[in-house]
Amino acid sequence: MARSNDEVAALFQEYADLISITGGDAFKARVYEKAARSIGGYHADASTLDVKGLQQIPNVGKSIAEKIVEYFRTGSVSAVEELRARIPAGVRRLTAIPTLGPRKALTVYEELGISSIDELADAIRAERLRDLKGFGPKTEENILHGIGLLQASGDRVLLDVALDLAERIVAELSEVTGCRRCAYAGSLRRFRETIGDIDILTAAEDSAPLMQAFTELPYVTEVVARGRTKTSVRTTEGLAVDLRVVPPDSWGAALQYFTGSKAHNIRTRELAVHKGFKLSEYGLFDVESGEKIVSETEEEVYARLGLPWIPPTLREDRGEIEAGLHDELPDLVLEADIRGDLHTHTDLTDGLAPLEEMVQAAADRGYAYFAVTDHGPNLYMQRMTDERMLEQRDHVRELDRTYGKRGRRGGMRLLHGAELNIDPDGEVDWPEEFLDGFDLCVASVHSHFNQGRAEMTRRIVRACENPYVNIIGHPTTRLLGKRPGIDADLDEIFAACARTGTALEVNAHPDRLDLRDEDILRARRHGVKFAIDSDAHATLHLAGMRYGVGTAQRGWLTKDDVINTWPETRLRRFLRKGTPGRRVPPH
């Protein structure tokens, strides 16, 4: 069941799109986009607030607050329904295609009568779009690629949506009488970036109470199939969820089997065969006698195969079996290892919370250090100026004296940084003399995503070579299901990072998870160091660090690979980037 705030955020984002599609006021569309972001990131449940309380949310005025109240009172908003009625549902569906955009969706509908994705794909192949103003071969190519992205995502959802639902199901089923064990398995346990369906595994002598409780969960909308050992449902999010009940003494073998991946399980079954065993979801059996050898814990199953327990995030048949056989599995980074967050935003630019609230939320997480990195002036919509940034720096230094109780347990040091925009030529905001005043700088691509491969590669390499750029933020710029990653020679970029002492970010935001796990594996072989950052724009977003850690684990990262697991003194040495005479002082 989606958070009420997320429901409203999705509704207002749709409203903003509808305003754009119908040629409405661009400023009004932007107002609702900002309100959607603010509501989604707000800590309090919007359904419990009145108009006055809702107006305490950043970017929510009286008119928007009244629409929120209307939504929770009636289940809809009349202004949104009016615009929905003006636009065919197919056109609204077209706006989900990455790279198309609402205005172009309306154009193809009005000019060519296209109101479905299939019709649009056929029109592109027939080259019917090329005569439309603002379209051309490159636009057609981009739209086709966007259609491919949309179709590939199918019914899959982002990791955070699936994990939130799975944890609630596990919590509720764990309370059912007779439930001995309960956990989620499948690709979710392996922390894949998107999830097609959720596998819930329980152990009990009697499955009936669990199956009954499962089908009666408030967010179950349809019971697809029901049996003694497996029941399948659909939920309000549209997600399919399978519940399997196994005997308690088969728990370990079943958890190993249903966690997967398929390729990993093939390898473990092959190992079992070589040792004269048969491995299934019910246990590890001796082939000759049929006797069950082990099954109660995953550790026992792996041990009898000659392997240490392999963390679920590694179970993709990417060398983990061989590493286990040779006692070379990495000691993976854990969320508890993270000492600080190095990429966050406040309401000085596009964040939702003031500096004081972000700092306090970071302190509540027990961090040893915390960096504030609002956007620089080259991202024009943020209206940053030198004066505003220097004023924030003074404020950060003042707060550091409060939170940074040096030499005492519980202190948190504050670092003042910026997220710089990497311009098309590889330059960044501000000259060197201004950049020299920051404790660290994250540099990211925020525009001109369609540059040619050579130009894009050189652009990012130049940023790495800047002595004041410490971290390349969300390196491929991808947005899952919405925007593909940039076309660049990543190996050349990885080599530049290793050569210049520039860290690559593992951006923990569930929409990004950038770098992805496969790229992390490649970059690590180049000797690159990494920063796992939340890119938080609200206090709630800080908790998203778990998704970045899971992605880092899938990329085989250890504590030593991740700079924000290091003690502050080692981190500050890294931030100097080998620049002669440059000092990143502890204030």
pLDDT in tens, 343-372: 999 999 988 889 999 999 999 999 999 999
| C-alpha span between 208 and 198 (Å, rounded) | 20
Name the band, by pLDDT with cuts 50, 70 and 90, for residue 44: confident
Residue of 188, 316, 199, 310 whose CA lies nearest to 263: 316
Sequence-ordered alpha helix ranges (H) in 275-334: 298-304, 320-325
The pLDDT of residue 579 is 61
Which tokens in the block code for residue 230? Answer: 């497996």
Confidence class for position 587, pLDDT limits 50, 70, 90? very low
**Is 148 a residue whose pLDDT tops 70?**
yes
- The pLDDT of 448-464, averaged and rounded, is 95
Mean pLDDT of 413-428: 96
DSSP-based three-state secondary structure for 558: strand
Q: Over 24-90, what HEC string results?
A: CCHHHHHHHHHHHHHHHCCCCCHHHCCHHHHCCCCCCCHHHHHHHHHHHHHCCCHHHHHHHHHCCHH
pLDDT above 90 coverage of the chain, percent: 63
Is residue 220 classed as helix, strand or coil in its secondary structure? strand
pLDDT digits (tens, 9 = 90+) for 156-192: 889 999 999 999 999 999 999 999 999 999 999 999 9
Which pLDDT belongs to residue 141? 79
- Tell me what the mean pLDDT of segment 271-287 comes to: 93
pLDDT in tens, 294-327: 889 999 999 999 999 999 999 999 999 999 999 9
Residue 585: CB partners within 8 Å, gap ≥ 6?
none
Domains of the chain (ranges plus CATH)? 4-153 (1.10.150.110), 157-246 (3.30.460.10), 263-325 (3.30.210.10), 341-575 (3.20.20.140)
DSSP E strands in 448-510: the ranges are 471-472, 503-507
- What is the residue-averaged pLDDT of the chain? 90
**Across 467-475, average pLDDT:** 97
